Structure 1
Amino acid sequence: MKMEKKDPLYRSFGYAFQGIFTCVRKERNMKIHCVAAVLVVIAGVILKISAIEWCICMVLFGLVMALEHVNTAVEAVVDMVTEEYHPLAKVAKDTAAGAVLIAAMMAAIAGCIIFLPKIVQILQ
């Protein structure tokens, strides 16, 4: 058995960053997630959220964006394998998209729990 030569670690990171930049550049929903993240960061600075609240926001940013990358990968692989309609291709694509939607909805709910009381307090 022949041993495969592995890429150096810095190349592996380079490929990963390429994947991130490609997804941000080409995927509309990823652009929306990035804008939402920037708006949350701005709101967090203005409303002076706590360290724990920042950690919650960062974890949720990571979860939603990572799932968007997985969704993009699933869609690319399915499209590469078949151009014709197939019920299993639909299941793969819809399920991956559903995972992103669930994470985004939970992130939005968590955002409301964190930010709405602070906004209400300012408005009183």
Structure 2
Amino acid sequence: MGLHDKHSFLKSFSYAFSGIKTSFQSELHLKIHSFAGVLALGGGFYFQITQIEWIVIILLIMGMFSLEMMNTAIEKTVDLVTRDYHHLAKKAKDIAAGAVLVYAIGAMVIGIIIFWPYLGI
């Protein structure tokens, strides 16, 4: 790997971290998902969940963050392409938001499955 390649590689991390920072600063839903993630992590520590359960929880949290950021990227791209109302732009945004909702519901169900036995209900 040459010097230029190393510089480009490190620069790509800089861009990625900038995108993460921008997302967390500007997106309310990402903050809400972060709060839910903190609750899940806190529950994991409190109930001393198994290693496999930790892996699942961490994958769900990271997946939620990633999907929410992709949704934001799609919304921003659509806004860049057109400011006018267009039914295809609406569909693109609605589908991206729907993907986030489907994942969030799945994550919530899996979280309930993981934590339910620890609650002793």
Identify the TM-score tier after normalising by the shorter chain: over 0.9
In the comparison of the two structures, how many residue pairs are matched?
117
Q: What 5-or-longer segments of structure 2 have no aligned partner?
A: none
> What's the counterpart of residue 20 of structure 2?
20
Report percent identity of matched pairs: 44
Runs of 4+ in 1 over 6 A off after TM superposition: none
For 1:51 and 1:29, locate their aligned partners in 2 and report how far apart those are by CA, in whole Å.
28
Q: Note the C-alpha offset of 1:10.
A: 1.0
Letter in 1 for 2:82: T
Aligned-pair distance for 1:62?
1.4
**Distance of 1:38 and 1:10 partners within structure 2:** 29
For normalisation by structure 1, the TM-score amounts to 0.90
Give the structure-2-normalised TM-score: 0.92
What secondary structure, in the 3-state scheme, does the structure 1 residue paired with 2:85 have? coil
Give the C-alpha shift of residue 32 in structure 1. 0.6
Deviation at 1:42, TM superposition (A): 0.6
Q: Give unpaired runs (5+ residues) of structure 1.
A: none
Q: Aligned partners of 1:66, 1:102: CA distance in 2, in Å?
A: 14
Aligned to 2:106: 106
Structure 1 CA distance for aligned equivalents of residues 48 and 22 of structure 2: 33
Distance 1:40 1:104 in 2: 13
Matching residue's letter, 1:83: R
Q: Paired residue for 1:36?
A: 36
